[in-house]
Structure formats: C-alpha cells, structure tokens
Amino acid sequence: MNNFIYQNPVKIVFGKGQIAKLPELIDANKTILMTYGGGSIKKNGVYDQVKKALAGRKLLEFGGIEPNPRYETLMKAAEVCKKEGVSFLLSVGGGSVLDGTKFIALAANYKAGDPWDILAKQATANEAIPLGCIITLPATGSEMNSGFVISRESTKEKLASGNPLVYPLFSILDPETTFTLSKEQTANGIVDAFVHVMEQYMTYPVYTPLQDRQSEAIFLTLIEEAPKVMENPQDYNARAAIMWTATQALNGLIACGVPQDWATHMIGHELTAFYGLDHAKTLAIVLPGILRHQLKNKEKKLLQYGQRVWKINPTKSDATLKAIDKTEKFFRSVGIKTKLSEYGIGKEKFSEIADRFRRRGMRLGEHQAIGSEQVIEILNLCL
C-alpha cells in the first residue's frame, strides 16, 4: 500500500427534508450568494425550499451557470461577490454549478493576476469565500471534494484544478431533489461515478484489499441500482443509494494508498471542449478504448474486476476483454453510447487533441505510458 494522507472536512447532511436545516448551517451574519444553473431548481421546488429556509437572511442570487461551467460567466459572479461583499456562497444544483461556485469563491479574492491562471498554470489561490451546497445531481462527487473543472468558451479549453479551501463546509444531499432528473442526466451521473472508481481502481495491484473491496462495492451498487432508477425515477431508496454511492466514488476514500489513472477524464475533457459532448458521454467512449489499449498494464486488476464484479472466470484467455465488453454493455444498458461514430464524430481533430497534451508536456496514465501518439491510438479505438 502506498503512503497517503487523508482528510475530508465536508459535513454531509443527508436525507428527505434536509434543506430546511440551512439556517443552522450558515452563520446568521453572512451575506449569501445563491448560485444556480439554467432553472431546474425553479421547476422542481428546490429554489422555493431554499428561499423559505433562508427567509430573513441577506440572500442574493446568481443564476445561469451552464453545464460545463464557463469562466466567462463565473467571472461575472466573482464581480458580484466583490461588489456586494458576499461572505458565503450557496451552490444549488448539479456538479457544474458547484464547480463553478468553487471557482467563483477563489476568483473573487484572487489578486495575483488573471484567475484563469488557477486552471491554466495551476496557480495557488490563498483565499476563498466559504461555500456550502445542495447537490441535485449525483455524479461528480464535487459535493465532497475540493476539485473543480471549468471551461473557457473563447479558447475551447476545459481544465481541472483543486484547492483545499473550496471543500464545501456542508453538502445537503436530499435524494428527493433528484426525482426530476431526466433519464439521460440520471444515466450520465451513473456513468460518471462508475468511471471515477475506474480511474482509482483499474491500475495495478499494490496490496490494498480494503480499498479494492470498497471500489468493487461501488461498482456493484451502481450496477444493481441503475435499472431501478431508470425504470422508476421516484424510487427513493434507489435514488438515495445512488446519491451516496456517487459521493463515495470521488471523496478521496478509495484513492487512499492506490495508484491512479485519470487518462479517461483527461481525454474526455478534450472531447467536451472540442465537440460539446456531456462529460459522462465522453467517459463512456474513452474508457473502453483506454482499457483495450492498456490491456497488458492493467491485466491483473482487469482480471480481479472481471471476476468480482462480473463473475468472469479469470483463467479463460479472453477474461480481460470480456470484462471490458461487460463494462461497455453496462453503459449502453442505461442508454449511453460508447463510440464516437455514434455521435457522427470522426478522426478529423485527433491530432489537434493529441497535440494539446504534447504542448502541455503531459503524459497520462498510472505509468505515464500515454503520450500524444498513444492518445491518437486510443481515440482510433473509440471510433
């Protein structure tokens, strides 16, 4: 097991009706900016619940944060924070609103230059407006981590960063808020959470029996619960199980002491930047390609995964490929396509995408075995 430090300060407030706890969670003297997206919270009653819970508080609003939140929009919110003396940010919505809010929290106080440097140059911001969230889409794990992914429209970039200062102080997870998710968004969330576990599990063994079993528990729970929510969007128990599972998939716990990959996400982010595909849709395409390309490097974990998750006999010669096929079938079972060609995308931009990694001097994967040439090979496997 590799050395690790683990600390996660996020207070999770889980269950029905928990939005009403907001007044206990935010100090009375705060000037609050509620951030949200394109209006889902107004349709499903979450907005009204927040307004009711925070009646009498100094509460401002900033709506219109896009899926794949944009730097250009977020900088406007950062200006509002400065102008209005905002001292608490409350993110209400999916991972995009929350990631955007984390960036706003840092950008509002960033004096060392252009806040885009936080993403492009991984510049460290030393101050942040404290934040909390109500997460309405189980997927990203953003509610219990310090990461954020921001897109810049003008340059077609999508970059990730992180800062311990933007761990939410609290995250409210009310599974009832997820009843209104479309089948498509529900499936996106399931695939995203599944791939988060893959990035932390599907590498090479370093003797982490507990972490492996925790990861496998997440895979199995998603596989078991997915058909239930796809069939019945108002199945509270299944929604609750998926919500907590998605949080566990990226809150640092299963990352303890293990090598990590993240190549699927890095290549996936470029597909979103170039083609505007939803985050999870890019992952469902890239992951099978990477697994097939890195078959030898990942062989031991693929065999373990195949046996424990899909009951595939590891002594059979095609056991690793079968495990990949099963994974792809699972994504397809919730309606997510797994090939670029299914979105009408061909090879045209492959070299431009690969070139971005070359220029950043980035090699991907747990062995840094994926350079720009391999990115093209992998994308060819995704056609």
Contacting positions for ligand NZQ (CB under 6 A): 37-41, 44, 67-68, 93-97, 99, 136-137, 139-142, 145, 147-149, 177-178, 180-181, 185, 188-189, 192, 250, 265, 279
Residues 190 and 113: their CA atoms lie apart, in Å, by: 38
Of 95, 108, 106, 62, whose CA–CA distance to 272 is shortest? 95
- In this complex, which beta carbon is closest to Zn ion, that of residue 192 or of residue 261? 192
Whether the CB-CB separation of 96 and 68 falls below 8 Å is answered with: yes
Whether the CB-CB separation of 107 and 55 falls below 8 Å is answered with: no
> Which residue has the CB atom at the shortest distance from Zn ion?
192
User: H or E stretch including 267?
Assistant: helix 263-275
Residues 267 and 225: their CA atoms lie apart, in Å, by: 28
Per DSSP, 317 falls in state T
Looking only at the bridges linking them, the beta strands covering 157-162 and 170-173 are unpaired
- In this complex, which beta carbon is closest to ligand NZQ, that of residue 23 or of residue 39? 39
Q: Please identify, among the stretches 60-68, 94-102, 184-192, 313-321, the one whose residues bind Zn ion according to the rule CB under 5 A.
A: 184-192
Partner whose binding site includes residue 364, from ligand NZQ, Zn ion, none (CB under 5 to 8 Å by kind): none
Least distance CB 162 / ligand NZQ (angstroms)? 8
Least distance CB 375 / ligand NZQ (angstroms)? 18
Q: According to CB under 5 A, which one of 192, 225, 278, 328 is a site residue for Zn ion?
A: 192
Residues contacting Zn ion: total by CB under 5 A: 1
- In this complex, which beta carbon is closest to ligand NZQ, that of residue 197 or of residue 382? 197
User: Rounded to a whole number, what is the distance in angstroms from the first to the last CA of the chain?
Assistant: 37
Of 144, 152, 130, whose CA–CA distance to 173 is shortest? 144
Least distance CB 79 / ligand NZQ (angstroms)? 21
Least distance CB 154 / ligand NZQ (angstroms)? 17
- Say whether residue 199 binds Zn ion (CB under 5 A): no
Least distance CB 322 / ligand NZQ (angstroms)? 27
Whether the CB-CB separation of 149 and 270 falls below 8 Å is answered with: no
- Record the tokens describing residue 144, joined without a space: 């219990």
Q: Which residues bind Zn ion (CB under 5 A)?
A: 192
